Amino acid sequence: MALKSSPTWGAQYPYISNLEMKQLSKITPWRTTAALVFDWAAIFISAWAAQESGAWWAYACAIVVIAGRMHALAGLVHDFAHYHYIKNKKRSDLIGNIFAAWPLLITVESYRNNHLAHHRHTNLDKDPDWQAKLGVKKFTFPMAPGAAIRLFLSYFVGIGALDDMRSALKRIHVAADKPALTEKLLRIGFYSLVVGAITALGLWQQVLFFWVLPFFTLFFFFMYVRSVAEHFGSSMDHGHELGASRTVLPAWWEGWLFSPHNLNYHLDHHLYPTVPFYRLKALHKALMTNPNYASQAHITHGYMRGLLGELGVIKPSQHPLPAQ
């Protein structure tokens, strides 16, 4: 059920001082640039290593790694949408589009319009994400293990990805402003150059295997698991800002796949959205010094633990677990 009124998200109950918030909100562009370089390097090196090896397990590993870095690029689109890069907004959007959003078939601008509406109306009727998922079977918990297995398999054959893509494109299209002609031409030019380069180099087979396949399978599966963890589940308390979203403290491999670039600190991000991704861990540490936050924040240790709880395999946590 949606909230009757919007949570205050850090305004009524400030969990850190204004000075701390100002320091944590400092933008350091090179860190985002370094993240972009790292993600793309991991994608290309994984594909190259698998191709050179020729072993089936190398291809399987490459698909997992690439899907995880696609998820990482999506996380950077999120930061670009919050203007966490450079002061020149048009240039920032262009860089975010070329190196993160356009390769994932979205734009920073359209994602921003949808996502900021989610921030303004979190879990309310005007929240586009909430309305698109509320009451949908895949976001309704507890879920029977058999239904979960069928759902997970749908992602491995592409059906789940197509369903999520259709839903996302619909709400992004509704929220989006009409792009300017220049923006349309730049995007068309980008795709034309990419298609031309792939054709000239004879790389269509590699693109299909190392980009299209992970994109339409594991990428959307990783996105789905994170989306559930952020705002859904039987243990959520949508009547309070500290229970309306989760922060997940993942194992290292869970962080690589399900929450790259600190996306696991979602509750913290909702409270203080001006903080860039590379300072979210420090934000969480600062928040944990506040007794109210530490005692009431919805914190889950591990994506798999939380998921198994929602599937009834283990007892779900009805209260925040002690932070470590």
pLDDT at 253: 93
Q: Which has more confidence, 322 or 86?
A: 86
Q: Which has more confidence, 246 or 10?
A: 246
Share of the chain above pLDDT 90, in %: 63
24 falls within a domain: no
Q: What is the pLDDT of residues 139-159, one digit of tens each?
A: 888 888 888 899 999 999 999
Under 8 Å CB-to-CB from 256, ≥6 apart: which residues?
Answer: 68
pLDDT at 199: 98
pLDDT at residue 323 tops 60: no
pLDDT at 173: 61
111 falls within a domain: yes
204 falls within a domain: yes
Q: What is the pLDDT of residues 52-73, one digit of tens each?
A: 999 999 999 999 999 999 999 9
Enter the pTM of the model: 0.90
122 falls within a domain: yes
167 falls within a domain: yes
Residue 201 in tokens = 């180099």
178 falls within a domain: yes
185 to 89, 99, 179, 182: CA distances (angstroms): 19, 17, 10, 5
pLDDT at 37: 98
Domain range enclosing 198: 30-235+304-310
pLDDT at 212: 97
pLDDT at 316: 55
CA distance 320 to 297: 6
Q: Where are the alpha helices (DSSP H) in the chain?
A: 18-24, 29-53, 56-81, 89-96, 108-120, 128-133, 145-156, 159-175, 181-201, 204-207, 213-214, 220-231, 252-258, 266-271, 280-287, 291-296, 303-310
DSSP string, 146-188: HHHHHHHHHHHTTHHHHHHHHHHHHHHHHHPPPPPHHHHHHHH
pLDDT at residue 138 tops 70: yes
Q: What is the pLDDT of residues 217-264, one digit of tens each?
A: 999 999 999 998 888 877 777 777 887 888 999 999 999 999 999 999
Share of the chain above pLDDT 70, in %: 90
Q: Count up the domains in the chain and report the number.
A: 1
Quick count: other Cβ atoms within 10 Å of Cβ 98?
A: 15
Q: What is the pLDDT of residues 154-180, one digit of tens each?
A: 999 999 999 998 888 777 665 556 777
pLDDT at 46: 97
- Determine phi and psi for 247, rounding to 5 degrees: -110, 130
CA distance 62 to 206: 12
| Average pLDDT of span 303-318 | 69
pLDDT at residue 102 tops 70: yes
**What is the CA 306 to chain-centroid distance, rounded?**
17
Residue 250 in tokens = 């993942």
CA distance 257 to 61: 12
pLDDT band at 321 (very low <50, low <70, confident <90, very high): very low
CA distance 25 to 132: 30
143 falls within a domain: yes
266 falls within a domain: no
